[in-house]
Structure 1
Amino acid sequence: ASLDGTTHQHVWPPLNAGWRTVLGSFVGFFGAALGSIGGLGGGAIFVPMLTLIVGFDTKSATAMSKCMITGAAISTVYCNLKLKHPTFNMPMIDYDLALLIQPMLMMGVSIGVICNVIFPDWLVTILFIILSLVTSTKAFLKGVETWKKEALIIREAAAKKSKQSSDGIEYAPPAGSDAVAETRPPSDKAVSIWKNIYWKEFGLLIFVWAAILTLQVAMNYVETCSTLYWVFSLLQIPVSAGVSIYQAVGLVQGKRVISSRANTQTSLKSHLVLICFFGVTAGVLGGLLGIGGGVIMGPLFLELGIPPQVSSATATFAMMFSSSIAVIEYYLLNRFPIPYALFFTCVAFIAAIVGQLVARKLINWLGRASFIIFVLSFMIFIGVIPLGTSFSLLNPFTTTIHITSYQSQNN
Structure 2
Amino acid sequence: MTTTACLFHEVVGLILAAGGGIGGGGILVPTYILLLDFPVKRAISLASVTVLGGAIANNLLNARKRHPDHDHRSVIDWTLILQLEPMTIAGTILGTLLNKALPALLLVILMVALLSYTAQNTLTKANELNQKENEAAARVREGETNSKTGTSFNCGPWCFWTAEAFMIIVIFVFVICERRSLLRRIDSGVPIYSDIVWTKANTVRYPCYSMGAGLVAGLFGVGGGIINGPLMLALGVHPAVASASSACMILFTSLTATLSFMAFGILVPDYAIFCMLVGFVSTALGQLGMSVLLKRYQRNSYIAYCIGLVVAISAVAMVIESIVAIMHT
TM-score in same-fold range (> 0.5): yes
Q: 2:83 aligns with which of 90, 100, 104?
A: 100
Q: 1:34 aligns with which of 12, 16, 19?
A: 16
Letter in 1 for 2:107: V
1:335 aligns with 2:266: yes
> RMSD of aligned C-alpha atoms?
2.3
CA contact (8 A) 1:108 1:282 kept: yes
TM-score by length of 1: 0.74
CA–CA distance in 2 between the matches of 1:42 and 1:243?
A: 32
SS of 2:328's equivalent in the other structure is: helix
Q: Cα distance, 1:28 vs. partner? A: 1.0
Instruction: Compare the two structures and name the one with the higher helix fraction.
Output: 2
Letter in 2 for 1:398: H
Partner of 2:158: 223
Q: 2:107 aligns with which of 110, 124, 128?
A: 124
Q: Cα distance, 1:87 vs. partner? A: 0.6
CA contact (8 A) 1:260 1:306 kept: yes
Q: Cα distance, 1:22 vs. partner? A: 1.6
Matches within 5 A, 1:58-207: 58-89=40-71, 90-167=73-150, 184=151
Partner of 1:259: 194
Question: How has the CA–CA distance of structure 1 residues 55 and 68 changed in structure 2, closer, same or farther, with 3 Å as cutoff?
Answer: same
- How many residues are treated as equivalent by the alignment? 327
CA–CA distance in 2 between the matches of 1:243 and 1:97?
A: 15
Matches within 5 A, 1:230-379: 231-232=165-166, 234-246=168-180, 248-250=182-184, 252-253=186-187, 254-255=189-190, 257-261=192-196, 265=197, 268-379=199-310
Query: Which piece of structure 1 moves more, 234-243 or 127-136?
Result: 234-243
Identical aligned residues as a percent: 26
TM-score by length of 2: 0.92
CA–CA distance in 2 between the matches of 1:84 and 1:256?
A: 18
1:44 aligns with 2:10: no
CA contact (8 A) 2:179 2:203 kept: no
Per-residue deviation, residues 358-396 of structure 1 (Å, max 9, x unmatched): 10111122221101111111101111223213324324x
CA contact (8 A) 1:43 1:290 kept: yes
Per-residue deviation, residues 239-277 of structure 1 (Å, max 9, x unmatched): 44335424542464343524334xxx36x4443222111
CA–CA distance in 2 between the matches of 1:351 and 1:94?
A: 24
Query: Which piece of structure 1 moves more, 277-286 or 363-372?
Result: 363-372
CA–CA distance in 2 between the matches of 1:82 and 1:276?
A: 26
1:54 aligns with 2:46: no
Q: Cα distance, 1:24 vs. partner? A: 1.2
Q: Cα distance, 1:221 vs. partner? A: 4.2
Q: Cα distance, 1:159 vs. partner? A: 1.5
Per-residue deviation, residues 321-354 of structure 1 (Å, max 9, x unmatched): 1111111111111112111111111111001110
CA–CA distance in 1 between the matches of 2:181 and 2:31?
A: 38
CA–CA distance in 2 between the matches of 1:27 and 1:230?
A: 35
Letter in 2 for 1:352: T
Letter in 1 for 2:172: P
CA contact (8 A) 2:48 2:258 kept: yes
Partner of 2:325: 394
- Structure 2 residues without counterparts, runs of 5 or longer: none
- Structure 1 residues without counterparts, runs of 5 or longer: 1-18, 168-183, 185-216, 400-411
CA–CA distance in 1 between the matches of 2:168 and 2:54?
A: 30
Partner of 1:196: none
CA–CA distance in 2 between the matches of 1:237 and 1:56?
A: 33
Letter in 1 for 2:243: S
Question: How has the CA–CA distance of structure 1 residues 66 and 137 changed in structure 2, closer, same or farther, with 3 Å as cutoff?
Answer: same
Letter in 2 for 1:147: N
Pair member with larger Rg: 1
Q: Cα distance, 1:222 vs. partner? A: 4.5
CA–CA distance in 1 between the matches of 2:298 and 2:167?
A: 47
Letter in 2 for 1:91: S
Letter in 1 for 2:57: S
